[in-house]
Amino acid sequence: MEQREESFRAADAIRAQGERFEGTGAEMVVEGLLREGADSVFGHPGGAILPVYDALHGAPIHHYLMRHEQGAAHAADGFARASGRVGVCIATSGPGATNLVTGLANAHMDSVGIVALTGQVGLALLGSDAFQEADTVGMTMPVVKHSYLVRQTGDIPRVLHEAFHIAGTGRRGPVLVDLPKNLTAGRGEALWPHGQPHVRGYRSEPPRPTDSELERAVEAIAEAKRPLLMVGGGASKAGAQDEVLALAGALGCPVISTLMGLGTVPTTHPGYLGMMGMHGTPIANVATTQTDLLIGIGVRFDDRVTGALARFAPQARVLHIEIDRAEVGKNIPAHIALVGDVRQVLRRLLPMLQGQDVRHPWLPEIDTEMRPDAESPFGYPRERFTDGRISGPQTVEALSAATRGKAIVVTDVGQHQMWAAQHYAFERPGQFITSGGLGTMGFGLPAAIGAQVGRPKETVLLLTGDGSFQMTLQELATVRSYDLPIKIVIFNNANLGMVRQWQEMFHGERYSYSALWNPDFCKLAEAYGIPALRATQSDEVDGLLRRAVDTPGPVLVDVRQVADENCWPIVPAGKALDEMIVRPSGRA
């Protein structure tokens, strides 16, 4: 151990002097992680990546041993979203690498910067169907921002420097680095790169809209009578909350959010109409159909947001502010496009609005004509059931009250995800961590681990369904091993809830394989050494959840939900936003 520590002290001296580094490829990997500030990584060892794990032994890097490689990828994802830094996951070759694919695809869809390090068989064995060989670069190419197969030991420093740069700049995304074992085990010499890397074909600096493009945007805003701000995940990732709120204030117009944009505009903002889309508020969706200028900020207009494309925002011109030019016009034609970093674009746009007649306060018109009952913004009363049964929205509202709306909320995918989006009182960007584009069940628990590592002083809530939880529940061992104080709340309705709802509504009530047999989640948690609570009656919910939040260390809460409760409202697939279905009278 002393010898290893001496080698790292020597590496510190090399970093300071900018000299050449001589050592094994694995030592170069660890040195590269240290140089990039990656002090926390998530992984699982195996044969082809063992040289790297040997080099990690004694290194000043916190390695979190996950129980499955998919969990490592999701943990790196959650870490990146919570901390704003690039996440790192590590896996071996073959099945280790293939188990990362879902996590890489998830990060790719949601524009999350992670670097995945995978072991690979030696270069001489490539293409021979060697033990645990897989074409990792080939199979992951569609779901990463960039990928590398390292072919020389001396290339490792440059490749890692480039990988972190690509993952963390522009529209963020996952980058894969495949490391043949003969390179990580063998010795080599390299000169550490300094400064910003120059990657052929890659522009790290986002484009900037021209002055004439900005002037066209100002003209469109001045001409509009019913402008509407639509805020997406790109605004949150850009750290543009202040600029978005300043624009909303300058225009005096209402604001809506996509699922990924939640938290950018506080739920208490007077102009905020809530989330829009398939499970959005009726007021937000109706406002979208009536606006004459839709200002999309960091959005990609996916199908769960737009509904039927031909009938989306039918009266509106579209002003699209987006960092990725490929997203402009991909789904919804943009009449005016401002391509660039959202924060910087808004900072240039806002001064140009001063002195212009751009205030269009049509919010009162919406308030009086379209806003539903404030006590039932989603089409149903807050007191869902009078017989003691527990509803999903009640559970989320109780959690929001117990944490005063300040927790980092991580979810899996399904009804509980939508209830969390609808009913938690988010107030800041990065507070809501969920699988948006890929909709990955099993994302929640490992992502919560990463979020807690990335924000160790904050309360992290995991809201998960009984179906999602059972896909990665082995990571309870990781939670316990590192004593991570995550509060795990299981919405236990003994069903794949959203699947069951769709079967009820769109498949003739034929419940094909959506009912679940579940273990006793409390006993399961206790087997992992995690305290557990259970709520079976509605009058228990508030107190139990407050108790869980106030308990030091990890806690699991099994909340027995109504089995046939549906998530309202809903826009059926292929329908327009103004064709949303609210809760039928008498229906759960």
Q: Decide if 443 is catalytic.
A: no
Q: CA–CA separation, 49 vs 55, rounded Å? A: 10
Characterize 539-564 residue by residue with b for buried, 16 or more Cβ atoms within 10 angstroms of its Cβ, and e for exposed. ebbbebbeebbeeeebbbbbbbbbee
CA distance linking residue 329 with residue 327, whole number of Å = 6
Q: Which residue has the tokens 């759960």?
A: 588
* Dist. CA 530–CA 272, nearest whole Å: 39
Between CA 270 and CA 529 the distance in angstroms is 45
Amino acid at 413: V
Contacts of 367 (CB under 8 A, 6+ apart): none
65: left (phi over 0), alpha (psi -120 to 50) or beta: beta
Residue 19 falls in the annotated catalytic set: no
Q: What is the dihedral of CA 347, 264, 234, 374, to 10 degrees?
A: -120
Rounded distance between C-alpha atoms, residue 23 and residue 188, angstroms: 6
Structure tokens that stand for 304 in this block:
């769960």
Residue pair 341/318 in contact (Cβ under 8 Å)? The answer is no
Report whether 237 contacts 110 (CB < 8 A): no
Q: Is 444 helix (H, G, I), strand (E, B) or coil?
A: helix
Strands 40-43 and 293-297, how do they pair?
Answer: unpaired
Active site residue 523: no
**From the candidates 132, 152, 344, 474, which is the catalytic residue?**
132
CA-to-CA distance for 45 and 54, rounded, in angstroms?
Answer: 10
What separation in angstroms does the CA of 288 have from each of 205, 278, 317, 328, 381?
A: 32, 13, 11, 19, 24
131 tagged catalytic:
yes
Instruction: Give the active site residue among 27, 31, 36, 69.
Output: 69
Amino acid, res. 456? P
Distance CA(588)–CA(181), nearest Å, equals 57
Looking at this protein, which amino acid is placed at residue 350?
L
Q: Which of 131, 196, 506, 537 is catalytic?
A: 131
Cis bond leading into 569, ω under 30°?
Answer: yes
Q: Are 472 and 98 in contact (CB under 8 A)?
A: no
The one catalytic residue among 28, 260, 275, 498:
498
Active-site position among 42, 79, 145, 181: 181
CB contact burial 494-505 (16+ within 10 A = b; e otherwise): bbbbbbbbbbbe
Q: Is 241 left (phi over 0), alpha (psi -120 to 50) or beta?
A: alpha
Pairing of strands 114-120, 146-149: unpaired
Buried b (16+ CB within 10 A) or exposed e, 252-285: ebbbbbbbbbbbbbebebebbbbbbbbbbbbbbb
Residue in the structure block whose two tokens are 């072919």:
151
Whether 579 sits among the annotated catalytic residues: the reply is no
What is the number of other CB atoms lying within 10 angstroms of the CB of residue 222?
Answer: 15
Helix (H) or strand (E) run with residue 166 in it: helix 156-168
Question: Residue 199 carries which side chain, given as an amino acid letter?
Answer: V
* Joined tokens for residue 517: 């047999």
Query: Can you point out the beta strands (E) in 78-186?
Result: 87-91, 114-120, 146-149, 175-180
Residues known to be catalytic? 69, 131-132, 181, 498
